[in-house]
Structure 1
Amino acid sequence: MPIVVSVFVVMLMIGAPVGLVMVFAGGAGALSLGGLDYLIIVPDKMFSGVSSFVLIAVPYFIFTSELMSHASLTERLIAFNNALFGRIRGALSHVNITVSVFFAGLTGAAVTDTVSIGRILIPAMKEEGYSAEYSAAVTACSSIIGPIIPPSIIMVVYATILRDVSVIDLFAAGIIPGILMAGSMLAVSIFLAWRKGFPQHEPTALFAAFMAFLVSLPALMVPIVILGGILSGLTTVTEASAFAAVYTLLVGALLYRRLSWAKVWDAMVVTIRFSGVVFFLLAASAVLSWFVVRSGLARDAADIISGVSDSQTVQLLLVIAFLILLGTVMDVLPALVVVGPILHPTMVGLGFDSLHFAIIMIVTLNVSNITPPVGMTLLTAAKIAEVPTERVVVAAIPFFIAVIASILLLAFVPSLSLWLPSLLD
């Protein structure tokens, strides 16, 4: 065990990629358990980590999100949401959040949402008189809804690493938590709009609002195609993801007429690059997961947590605090593949529901996108707004508090996560 921890810590400190850190740490664990002969397990476990059929959905989901971005879907969703909120004070702030909810059903990636929405709404908000830091903060914070409302790449990865949780159950379990987070952010946005006197638009005519809805309807059908097929049992996750990619390609090229061959090629390149990162992390995590199981590390972690307190409330709060702290130094996907194989069996062994804890872990780790110094959505939004990250961090505090309140509510009211999956049984 000491040699594994040493390899893991030293490689992280020198800035090695997280995937390599996990492979070398797992390899060191294999050496410590059985010598050189055990090293043959490393390539075998790496292959098994990426051989799951459901993982084919990952590049399809990424490709779909890239196509929708290139097809100018964001502008249509913003126009539709602006028609809904135009008469309310602080309309663009509210639109920013609600667009993220709609966009979440198309991308499942926080940074993608930040770029797609931010490049349009941040300049528009600044032009209307919103501060640059607030415009960046609301964009960055609302973007973390993306990996929670299905389809979610993070959920597919989670189900692959921990085979006792199905992707379908995770998708169903993420809908209400995602809406809850959006609602808490909207409450903050409405309060700040009243407190700071944000701009107010003229009411949108009913016919104009209806036309905005019709224009955006083909795009809004993408999450319905994905979730409808999966939750109804008509398609598997992989089949739904492939159908969504084909549907998006046809809509973007033939209906919206915004997809050229160059844009499709660019979407394919991004898909290959991002998929390569995801698959290598999964392969590496399989090596580390094997060592965690063989070494009894999960059992030791359970002993440590239960040694702090016998109260499940205290145990859950302790893990949530740890995940938030971990997110300050590690992005959500690497953090998930590193600690997921340890914490999930640990908490299930302590009596927590497997699916409930999975949602808590996914939602909490997504906070890493808005906590410095890693905070990818914060950094991205600050760059788009051309404002120092420190100012965006301060402006994001009210939304951060709302997110933490949502996490605590999800933690202590399990039915918010478990009710929809129970209907599928």
Structure 2
Amino acid sequence: MNIASPFSICIVAMTVLAFLGLPIGHAMIAGSILYLWLAGLDMGTAAEQLLNGMYVNYIILAVPLFILAAELMNIGSMTERLLQFCNAIVGRFRGGLAQVNVLQSIIFAGMSGSAIADAAGTGKMMQVMMTAGGKYRASYAAALTAATSVIGPIIPPSIPMILYALVSDASIGYLFLGGVVPGLLMAFAQMVIVAIGARRENFPVEKPTPLRDLPGITWRALPTLMMPVVLLGGIYSGATTPTEAAAVAAAYALLISALLYRSVSLRDFYRSVLGSARVSASIGMLIAGALVFNYVVTVENIPNDIKILLAGWELTPLGFLILVNVILLVLGCLLEGTTILLVVVPVLIPAAKALGIDMVHFGIVVVVNIMLGLITPPYGLLLFVMTRIANVPIRDIVRDVMPFLFAMVVALALITALPDLVLWLPRLLGYQG
């Protein structure tokens, strides 16, 4: 690559601006406009690409709606009732509270679509429950919450899968279905690590919930437990699109929290709307920057060049997927997941298609990699979130999260090598890929 070419200068400009503290979305837009100017192209193309991408893609609207649904769940008592239900189910076993942490993430995953929302929503409660009376080390509780939060965007609904569908044209419904078995596999791997740790460190056994209390606890948590049923049932019955289902999820969370549980004030509602708007605006700028920069990448014919390069290596589909895993795991140590998904993954998609790799399988492999990046040092966003929540040094959280990270990498290897783990459920419901 010519270091004086417009594309090289664009990359340098983006990198410098990002290091100077400009948000990456703004940096991508600025670098792309600089490229258009240096290449003698119409700089108004940047605005055209941004507007077309943001307003034509109806599916993007699902992102702020899922974020709002998660915020509304957190301000009500839905999360608290969910934890009570999980504790009644698995709290009686050795290391039971740690297993509760995994189980609640499985259930919460069917509601929020965001790993950060999962950690923020139940993370503080789980931290208090697990560390009360010195039952668990604060760093272990924080590491476990960070690891279990990774499950959130793998089991549907999933904001990263929505963004992947945006850049790949894969079916969101089948992507959601494809994430179910891998998500449960990741949860099983975490439960095994918890069980091993419980025996080695002699974790406490919680007081069993009397069986006579179980129906009442389940009944109080039932409206919360029904949210994934309402959400996914609407999508797969054909009654709603994924975007409409996100709106239904937000409305359902508000109605349950405000009218049934009566646990939401006007001030709480205002704060949740404001908080979700801020997060949505941040993601929106990333999407906008990626749309403009992806136009630059297309003009430079980068995806086709990479496809030709990989064809020269004569990689098998499995070999290509292993290479993608390595690339994404390394990038996950350095970059934010949404940036990888919107900037790096579109470059890899043409090569994946040329090798005959199923786009749903590829999408799940990509999303799992990006989620693992959230707990991979040194960047690991979830590690920093839990550091603030638990008020413990990040090095202690990193130490305790490593066994869970290793187990999930093993699960990723299985998902990569065995496409049927991803595609079995979509094919059962009509997927032809």
Question: TM-score scaled by structure 2?
Answer: 0.93
Choose from 41, 44, 63 the match for 1:40: 44
Would you say 1:230 and 2:235 are equivalent positions? yes
Q: CA deviation at 1:19?
A: 0.4
Answer whether contact 2:105 2:152 (CA < 8 A) is retained.
Answer: yes
Q: CA deviation at 1:367?
A: 1.0
Answer whether contact 1:48 1:286 (CA < 8 A) is retained.
Answer: no
Answer whether contact 2:306 2:347 (CA < 8 A) is retained.
Answer: yes
Would you say 1:182 and 2:187 are equivalent positions? yes
The residue aligned with 1:303 is 308
Q: CA deviation at 1:386?
A: 1.8
- Ranges of 4+ aligned residues in structure 1 off by more than 3 Å: 303-309
Q: CA deviation at 1:308?
A: 4.6
Partner Cα distance (2:325, 2:361) in 1: 13
Would you say 1:103 and 2:108 are equivalent positions? yes
Q: CA deviation at 1:72?
A: 2.1
Query: What are the superposed Cα offsets for residues 222-247 of structure 1, whole Å, 9 maximum, x if unpaired?
Result: 11111000011111112211122222
The residue aligned with 1:143 is 149
Q: Cα RMSD over matched residues? A: 1.6
Would you say 1:129 and 2:135 are equivalent positions? yes
Partner Cα distance (2:343, 2:89) in 1: 42
The gaps in structure 2 that reach 5 residues or longer are 1-6
The residue aligned with 1:239 is 244
Partner Cα distance (1:8, 1:145) in 2: 32
Would you say 1:338 and 2:343 are equivalent positions? yes
Partner Cα distance (1:211, 1:203) in 2: 15
Would you say 1:49 and 2:53 are equivalent positions? yes
Q: CA deviation at 1:305?
A: 3.5
Partner Cα distance (1:325, 1:344) in 2: 18
Partner Cα distance (1:386, 1:135) in 2: 12
Q: CA deviation at 1:398?
A: 0.5
Partner Cα distance (1:238, 1:298) in 2: 29
Partner Cα distance (1:17, 1:301) in 2: 27
Query: What are the superposed Cα offsets for residues 339-370 of structure 1, whole Å, 9 maximum, x if unpaired?
Result: 12212223222332111111100110111110
User: Which amino acid letter does the alignment assign opposite residue 168 of structure 1?
Assistant: G
The gaps in structure 1 that reach 5 residues or longer are none
The residue aligned with 1:250 is 255
Deviates more, 1:276-285 or 1:402-411: 276-285
Would you say 1:281 and 2:286 are equivalent positions? yes
Choose from 131, 142, 167 the match for 2:172: 167
Question: TM-score scaled by structure 1?
Answer: 0.95
The residue aligned with 1:14 is 20
Answer whether contact 1:173 1:359 (CA < 8 A) is retained.
Answer: yes
Answer whether contact 1:49 1:285 (CA < 8 A) is retained.
Answer: no
Alignment identity in percent?
37
SS where residue 219 of structure 2 aligns? helix
Answer whether contact 2:139 2:397 (CA < 8 A) is retained.
Answer: yes
User: Which amino acid letter does the alignment assign opposite residue 30 of structure 2?
Assistant: F
Partner Cα distance (1:296, 1:351) in 2: 21
What does 1:17-32 correspond to in 2, within 5 Å? 17-32=23-38
Answer whether contact 1:161 1:282 (CA < 8 A) is retained.
Answer: no
What does 1:148-159 correspond to in 2, within 5 Å? 148-159=154-165
Partner Cα distance (1:17, 1:350) in 2: 35
Query: What are the superposed Cα offsets for residues 203-260 of structure 1, whole Å, 9 maximum, x if unpaired?
Result: 2211212211111110111111110000111111122111222221111111111011
Partner Cα distance (1:411, 1:131) in 2: 34
User: Which amino acid letter does the alignment assign opposite residue 216 of structure 2?
Assistant: M
Q: CA deviation at 1:382?
A: 2.2
Partner Cα distance (1:235, 1:312) in 2: 35
User: Which amino acid letter does the alignment assign opposite residue 53 of structure 2?
Assistant: G
Partner Cα distance (1:175, 1:218) in 2: 21
User: Which amino acid letter does the alignment assign opposite residue 96 of structure 1?
Assistant: N
The alignment of Structure 1 onto Structure 2 pairs a total of residues equal to 422
Query: What are the superposed Cα offsets for residues 367-387 of structure 1, whole Å, 9 maximum, x if unpaired?
Result: 111012221211111222221
